Amino acid sequence: MPLQFGIWSPVCGGWLRTVDHEANLSPQDLVKLAVAADELGYEFYYIPEHYLNAVHGPSYDVADAWITAALASLNTKKIKIVAAIQPGFKLPAVIAKLSANIQNRLSNGRFALSGIAGWWKLEVESYGDIWLPHSERYARLAEYIDVIKGLWTVDDFNYQGKYYTIQNGILTDKPTPTPPIFIAGESERAINLAASQGDYLFINADAPEKTAALVEKVKRLASDRYQRQIKVAMSAFAIVRENAAEAEARLEAIYRAADWEQIKYFQAQIDPNVVAHNKLDISQTIEANLGLSAQLVGDRATIIQRLREYEAIGVDLIILKFESMLSDTIRFHQLVISEYTQMKAIYE
């Protein structure tokens, strides 16, 4: 399949840790963005789950992922709605049921689930969960996915694990089709979990040569060890303008507006065992998921060439963030995606 495109839902407000940023976005704002992306032709709308604001700090509010997912599913027509979930905040059987309801009753088969192990100790403990070591967070996530998939597909489901037990689990309204599952992370445990149970491995941005090794690793592992296929989704932050000088000037302005207090705060909060977060200079951490590492900054020709490089190494989906989510979502589709897909159609 050709490279697909999605956007992030800015549940924390703007994605940049700058002094002046988009803030206080409501679920209604996020639904308007989903509708706009749907009408433009983006294929995925990814909604991260947070209980504290993971971009601007705990003094800022954050929109609820699952309220947003339900509303976005109800108000869109084609775009796939992806809701993230962290184990510990909601029982897996509850998520199995919520997912089935959204899939069957709201989205008409356009729902997907993203499993994340979590990285922020303060957030976990503030909402009553237990902070586990990195390896155990992924072990628990594996059981979490086991339970959800079991309830989605098996009648009178039984499960006995270290973290979860289900006795004669009942989910009458099973989701149709079974929602795809994203597994977020880049550690060995994340890669193995995605290869064995996921439909997508969701990774942070990096240069194509580094991303290529990760893509090949997870796809080969899925095929050779588990006899299954997997796709790779990558997060990226983009700035497109009519010429490269304008785009670079905008990036420099972003760096000048950096909120050093928040950047340093999150550098201190990050679990050092989270592989992707070991890149800690401003060029990465000014954006919450290291998206500037994709180097999607420039005019349309520059960015289209970069996208070709990612497609060539096996990236299947790029989920985008922008400085101004609504206006830049429109601009990027008009300047880049429309031409990219037209060129692909001509060559094919």
Residue 1's identity, in one-letter code, is M
Cα 215 from Cα 49, distance rounded (Å): 25
- Listing DSSP states for 170-236 in one string gives --SS--SSPPPEEEE--SHHHHHHHHHH-SEEEE----HHHHHHHHHHHHHHHHHHHS---EEEEEE
Taking alpha carbons only, the member of 322, 324, 342 closest to residue 6 is 322
Confidence class for position 57, pLDDT limits 50, 70, 90: very high
What is the pLDDT of the chain when averaged over all its residues?
Answer: 94
Residue 142's identity, in one-letter code, is A
**Which pLDDT tens digit goes with each residue over 95-119?**
999 999 999 999 999 999 999 999 9
The parent domain of residue 188 ranges over 4-347
Asked if the model's pLDDT at residue 317 lies above 90, the reply is yes
Asked if the model's pLDDT at residue 244 lies above 70, the reply is yes
Token pair 């003094």 is found at: 59
Cα 205 from Cα 306, distance rounded (Å): 12
Residue 199's identity, in one-letter code, is D
Asked if the model's pLDDT at residue 277 lies above 80, the reply is no
**Which pLDDT tens digit goes with each residue over 143-169?**
999 999 999 999 999 999 999 999 999
Asked if the model's pLDDT at residue 258 lies above 80, the reply is yes
CATH number of the structural domain spanning residue 11: 3.20.20.30
Asked if the model's pLDDT at residue 347 lies above 60, the reply is no
Q: Do 13 and 56 contact (CB within 8 A), yes or no?
A: yes
Domain count, the chain: 1
Structure tokens at 199: 């439909």
What is the pLDDT at residue 313?
A: 97
**Which pLDDT tens digit goes with each residue over 262-273?**
999 988 888 777
